Structure 1
Amino acid sequence: MNRAAPRTAGGWTRLRRPFPLLCLLASALWLALATGCANFPFGRGPGQTFVQTKPAALPARVLGNYFIVEAEQIDGTVRRFLVDTGSTATFVSQNLAKAIGQRERDAAKRTVPVRSANNGEITLETVTLKRLQLGEAKFDRVAALVYDFEELSAHLGLTIDGLIGFPVFRNTLLTLDYPHAQLVIAPHQPGAALPRSAGRVAVIAFNNEQGTPFIPVQLGNESFVVLVDSGSDGGLQLNPVGLHPRFAFGPRAGTLVSSISGDRAQQVGRLGQNLLLGTHVVEQPVVDVTDQLSSIGGELLRHFAVTFDQRRNYATFTRDTDGPVRIEPRRSTGLSFSRAAAYWRVLRIVPDTPTTQLGLQPGDLVVRINGEPVAGWSYERYAALLASAAKVTYTFLTGTREYDVEIPVFELVP
């Protein structure tokens, strides 16, 4: 349920977070809804962290702007995690919790009663992971919440076993290297000099008081702070309150955005001003206008290798190339979908687009794309189609009747 890729906007309903129900209100505590996803009420990181003297590197996969890694755990199974710097909590599936959770004699299960965005109440179980392994880096007694990742896994087309929050890495140097698709975890070097901004490297101090990194950025002559949020697939989420942004295009209605307050129609546009990220220039970025805290997500972060030092509270943003960062246009057919194995369900038709003239309705079911069953269209493949195709043929199902509709692909935001 989110837009399919950095160059598309109409594949699936776009999620500000990968799992909207995790941004929740606990009965006794606020689970920090505005700062990314959740403030964890029982511990901000592992009991012990073990990293060898040399960095531990793991291959990563950047899928739809999410940063995903695989690692073998103490039960011998290989598990897949989304790394989320915008979350103060760590979440694991029920299966993983059973496999590596700490079993304490006579200990009753602890749960957190929560209220979801639609005011329904659910309860999430707490668990302490005996050991979380990311290659040669090992984290003992990690506090986590148990969550069902089935919907996110179905959306991405691969099983997600957990989400690792920012505080887990508090005793390490954490690098999310998007261009080279790798996660690097290194030990702190006592007495090491603080890096300096130079050339392709920008060093930016961050505020970590909420357990997530907030950095200062500049738009035109105005400065403000943004959350560095690898758990968001978006680029710049901009709350314009107190600012005076100028737009080169829009903002206009886009796809659906799921957030802590429920689903809302996206407002998206391209700024007429550059964003300064330290010494890096992001040229007239595409932005999602939000009433939440401003943030930068994977669409923008994917241009950098980002290193976080939580002891000294600084981040380095490193690029392989010179010149400004350019965000590609967002392409769309004007349809937002939720995805199931046998069909995709239309959730929204973007207003004021060619698609609104075709008589389609939310709830309509698509069973084939360009003649192939939707089961054969992975997240990445469909994203590539929208990035390059001039039109897409969808086969809709009504009762037992199938019919084709050819829809042009257009630039939702040039």
Structure 2
Amino acid sequence: MKQVAALIVALLVIGKAQAQIATPVVLPSQMCCGYFFVPVTLAVRDGETAEARTLWFLYDTGASASYVDPDSLERVSGQRLASGVRASFGEVTTGTLRLNGLRARVRDLDHLSIALGREIDGILEFDAFEDVLLTLDYAAREMRVVSGELPRPDNVTIFEADGPDMRPWIPVGFPGGERRRLLIDSGAALSSVVLRNIARYDTVEPPRATGASVRFSVVEPRSSARMSGDLRIGDHELEQPVIQSTPESELIGGAVMRHFSWTFDQRRERVQVLRNDPSVPIRFAPLITHGLVLVPEGDGMRVATVIANSPASDAGVETGDFITHFNGSEMRTRNCDLGGEPPATLDLDLIRDGEAMALRLTLYALVD
């Protein structure tokens, strides 16, 4: 089932013998818009700096394979590999840890960098840390690794994470007593719960178009609605989450994950879920968005669809417009911070029929 059998053969290794990591090691990760990024540094050559040999990989628990952008790979290695080729990195480091056996398939990721507003050199698959316990601590904004194993599942804090593939899946309780396994997907950082056929669920209002999800070069239109009832993970209630549609894997994303710390025992297919603050209810804010379906193109975004009755349609944005800036920032260099109150407006710089224009969108909730 694994497309890459062992991405990281061992951490802190001599040859191929794994050393024990007795004390948790904090990886030098960064967070951007709810996504974890990990630096991977190739061996530094004479006359070069570590920074010049470093790639930043987005760690994605929903990914079953790893990828590296050809431009990024050429920048650090001097080699240009064709799309689809699997690159072998040999020994690399992330902070004080040495990683052996890192391999990633070459694929253009420019469109994802544009969509996120930060350069993405690569995507690191879920089982990259299969020889250790990996913790994604959202409250601390940390990734940690340590040797060991999780106890047997108790369905309170420890859960079986097995499912239809090697990625992590967790049982989720639905209204009416139904239980299904959903993918734990840190790569869906802005989503709460993503389900197929959302029209079959009881919702406060009928599902409506709200945007799209970019998966490599494929743009998936998304509809959303707020559930009338609650979902459950163990003893934890997810109060009336905003659900989104998908034709693919059903999942919980970052809007759920950020309420917990997640420790993955990948070899034993177990996950520990610890709530940040049990006294704080897990609630989901209204879905405030611009109402645009955007396709990355060059250094900007092309408007593929303007959703009816949305801030974008109110402001007069048209299909085919080419957006160059959000709030004065180029599309590749937008703000990574998710904190604070949602903005009240969004300023767009765009090109229409060869002419530059500026439009201001007054933002409001498409799903209350």
- Which category of TM-score, normalised to the shorter sequence, fits these structures? 0.7 to 0.9
Partner of residue 212, structure 1: 167
Q: Describe the shift of the 1:82–1:400 C-alpha distance in structure 2 as closer, same or farther (beyond 3 A).
A: closer
Partner of residue 56, structure 1: 25
Partner of residue 318, structure 1: 274
Q: Describe the shift of the 1:311–1:399 C-alpha distance in structure 2 as closer, same or farther (beyond 3 A).
A: closer
Cα displacement (A) at 1:404? 4.2
Cα displacement (A) at 1:294? 0.7
Percentage of pairs with the same residue? 24
Report matched runs for 1:239-278 at 5 Å: 239-240=196-197, 245-259=201-215, 262-278=218-234
Cα displacement (A) at 1:92? 2.2
Q: Is the 8 A contact 1:74 1:100 kept in 2?
A: no
Partner of residue 123, structure 2: 163
2:180 to 224, 229, 238: 224
Q: Give, in whole Å, the separation in 2 of the partners of 1:392 and 1:137.
A: 41
Partner of residue 69, structure 2: 93
Q: Map Cα deviations across residues 88-127 of structure 1 (whole Å, 9 max, x no partner).
A: 21222336656888x9xxxxx998xxxxxxxxxxx50012
Report matched runs for 1:184-199 at 5 Å: 184-188=144-148, 193-194=151-152
CA-atom RMSD in angstroms: 3.5
Q: Describe the shift of the 1:96–1:133 C-alpha distance in structure 2 as closer, same or farther (beyond 3 A).
A: farther
Q: Give, in whole Å, the separation in 1 of the partners of 2:178 and 2:296.
A: 40
> Does 2:365 correspond to 1:411?
yes
Partner of residue 60, structure 2: 84
Report matched runs for 1:9-408 at 5 Å: 40=3, 43-50=5-12, 52-75=21-44, 76=50, 77-94=53-70, 97=73, 123-188=83-148, 193-194=151-152, 202-207=157-162, 210-220=165-175, 221-233=177-189, 234-240=191-197, 245-259=201-215, 262-322=218-278, 323-338=280-295, 344-353=301-310, 355-356=312-313, 359-367=316-324, 373-375=328-330, 378-380=333-335, 387-389=342-344, 391-399=345-353, 401-408=355-362
Cα displacement (A) at 1:312? 2.5
Q: Give, in whole Å, the separation in 1 of the partners of 2:324 and 2:65.
A: 37
Which stretch shows the higher mean deviation, 43-52 or 269-278?
43-52
Which residue identity does 1:61 align to in structure 2?
Q
Secondary structure of 2:65's match?
A: coil
Q: Give, in whole Å, the separation in 1 of the partners of 2:349 and 2:73.
A: 40
Residue correspondences, number: 350
Q: Give, in whole Å, the separation in 1 of the partners of 2:325 and 2:76.
A: 40
Secondary structure of 2:90's match?
A: strand
Q: Give, in whole Å, the separation in 1 of the partners of 2:336 and 2:104.
A: 33
Secondary structure of 2:207's match?
A: strand
Partner of residue 119, structure 1: none
Q: Describe the shift of the 1:381–1:284 C-alpha distance in structure 2 as closer, same or farther (beyond 3 A).
A: same
Q: Map Cα deviations across residues 52-86 of structure 1 (whole Å, 9 max, x no partner).
A: 32222124333223221235443333331111111
Cα displacement (A) at 1:262? 4.0
Cα displacement (A) at 1:162? 1.8
Which residue identity does 2:317 align to in structure 1?
L
Q: Describe the shift of the 1:95–1:187 C-alpha distance in structure 2 as closer, same or farther (beyond 3 A).
A: farther
Q: Is the 8 A contact 2:118 2:332 kept in 1?
A: no
Which stretch shows the higher mean deviation, 268-277 or 352-361?
352-361
Which residue identity does 2:165 align to in structure 1?
Q
Which residue identity does 1:305 align to in structure 2?
S
Secondary structure of 2:342's match?
A: helix
**Structure with larger RCO (C-alpha < 8 A, sep 6+):** 1
Which stretch shows the higher mean deviation, 148-157 or 75-84?
148-157
Secondary structure of 1:387's match?
A: coil
Q: Give, in whole Å, the separation in 2 of the partners of 1:195 and 1:385.
A: 36
Q: Give, in whole Å, the separation in 2 of the partners of 1:248 and 1:290.
A: 19
Q: Give, in whole Å, the separation in 2 of the partners of 1:295 and 1:399.
A: 40
Secondary structure of 1:124's match?
A: coil
Which residue identity does 1:84 align to in structure 2?
D
Q: Describe the shift of the 1:374–1:362 C-alpha distance in structure 2 as closer, same or farther (beyond 3 A).
A: farther
TM-score under structure 1 length normalisation: 0.73
Instruction: Could you tell me which runs of 5 or more consecutive residues in structure 1 were left unpaired when the two chains were aligned.
Output: 1-31, 33-38, 104-108, 112-122
Which residue identity does 2:35 align to in structure 1?
Y
TM-score under structure 2 length normalisation: 0.81
Q: Give, in whole Å, the separation in 2 of the partners of 1:367 and 1:185.
A: 40
Which stretch shows the higher mean deviation, 260-269 or 226-235?
260-269
